[in-house]
Amino acid sequence: MSLEVIGISVLWLFLYGYLIVASIDFGAGFFAYYARVSKREHIMSKLISRYLSPVWEVTNVFFVFFFVGLVGFFPDTAYYYGTALLLPGSVAIILIAIRGSFYAFGNYGSKDNTVYLFLYGATGLLIPAALSTALTISEGGYLEETSEGVVFLAGELFTSPYSWSVVALAIVSVLFISASFLTYYADRAEDVDSRAIMRKFALWWSAPTIGASLLVFAGLRDHNVEHFRRALDLWWMFGLSLLFFLIAAFLIYSGKRYGTAFIMVMLQFFFAFFGYGASHLPYILYPFITIEGSVVNETMGTALVIVFILGLCLLIPSLYLLMRLFLFDADYVKGKK
């Protein structure tokens, strides 16, 4: 495998990791806020905070990892995306900053402050929307290269049906992933009330997830035909994604094996995400950056891969320990520790 393919696969894997853990996190914030305003807090908030407290920082790192790695492996992306994303990127950073800080303020500082919880919950849905613009821009058509540099066509972005369908998909996926995870977590905690609420949410958001995915496909056909064709060539990946979705929805509907159901959801997004990523290649940013053209020099690329492998040797056992202690420790989940 060539260096650039290794690089982009590693990065895509991390973005996928972020997609899953961040979705759980973003959705949980929203549900926690929802629970408070609908006065069902006593049931759900404990469950949510028990899961989130030890892991919220780790979520953030996945994201940092992705963009530091992207600039490391493909320095040209810094130039184009950097210029284009100044505004949407800044908005996303600000939202992430507000969310992270107010989570800590609310959770460790004053537990019953509704404003803090609102800021935390609301930003959870806005961040995916802001971040998804980066994916939209990667399809091309929103940047123009002039003699003075790269110009970002914000008007185009805001009026494009494709960009809105991506935003919609991002938000409903977040709610769906999060709800199906929390259903499983509530089940582990033997918290029947929370489980019932979360199960309803998961079922409620399942159909829109598929609906939004179809919209994105339709939007892509109008926006970037080439990419759409390449996606059709990889139809089996999207087919598998749909299959896993159906299994997951069936399991949640029939109310058993929530753990398997969540793994199915993860597989559903895995195939959709990698199908999308693979069909996007060789372009990173259509039509300016391809992976071959922008890859970092070989010495640095090799050094990055070595560090990456060493880093994983350190991270995987640590992550395993974290999950052992908090996610899969039945007593902790039930709130006994």
Residues in the chain: 337
Q: Which long-range contacts (CB under 8 A, 24 or more apart) does 245-252 make?
A: 245/206, 245/209, 245/210, 248/180, 248/206, 249/203, 249/206, 252/180, 252/183, 252/199, 252/202, 252/203, 252/206
CB closer to other proteins, 219 vs 301: 301
Establish if 58 lies at the interface with other proteins (CB under 8 A).
yes
How many other CB atoms are found less than 10 A from the CB of residue 203?
16
Establish if 192 lies at the interface with other proteins (CB under 8 A).
no
Q: DSSP assignment, residue 4?
A: H
Establish if 326 lies at the interface with other proteins (CB under 8 A).
yes
Establish if 13 lies at the interface with other proteins (CB under 8 A).
no
Establish if 81 lies at the interface with other proteins (CB under 8 A).
yes
The secondary structure element, H or E, covering residue 151 is: strand 149-152
Query: What is the SS3 assignment for 289?
Result: strand
CB closer to other proteins, 106 vs 275: 106
CB closer to other proteins, 83 vs 240: 83
Binding mask 109-138 for other proteins (x = CB under 8 A): xx----------------------------
Query: What is the SS3 assignment for 268?
Result: helix
Pull the structure tokens for residue 132: 């998804």
Site for other proteins in 142-171 (CB under 8 A): 148-150, 152
CB closer to other proteins, 39 vs 313: 313
Establish if 304 lies at the interface with other proteins (CB under 8 A).
yes
Selected binder of other proteins within 43, 76, 211, 243 (CB under 8 A): 76
CB closer to other proteins, 7 vs 277: 7
CB closer to other proteins, 38 vs 90: 90
- Alpha-helical (H) ranges within the chain are 3-37, 41-73, 75-84, 86-104, 114-137, 154-159, 161-188, 192-223, 225-233, 235-254, 258-280, 291-294, 298-322, 330-333
Establish if 309 lies at the interface with other proteins (CB under 8 A).
no
Q: Which stretch binds other proteins (CB under 8 A): 180-188, 194-202, 235-243, 299-307?
A: 299-307
Establish if 319 lies at the interface with other proteins (CB under 8 A).
yes
Establish if 65 lies at the interface with other proteins (CB under 8 A).
yes
Residue with tokens 């997004």: 269
The secondary structure element, H or E, covering residue 290 is: strand 289-290
Cβ atoms 120, 103 nearer than 8 A: yes
Using CB under 8 A as the criterion, which residues of the chain lie in contact with other proteins when the complex forms? 53-55, 57-58, 60-61, 63-65, 67-69, 71-73, 75-83, 85-87, 89-94, 96-105, 108-110, 148-150, 152, 296-297, 299-300, 303-304, 307-308, 311, 314-315, 318-319, 321-322, 325-326, 337
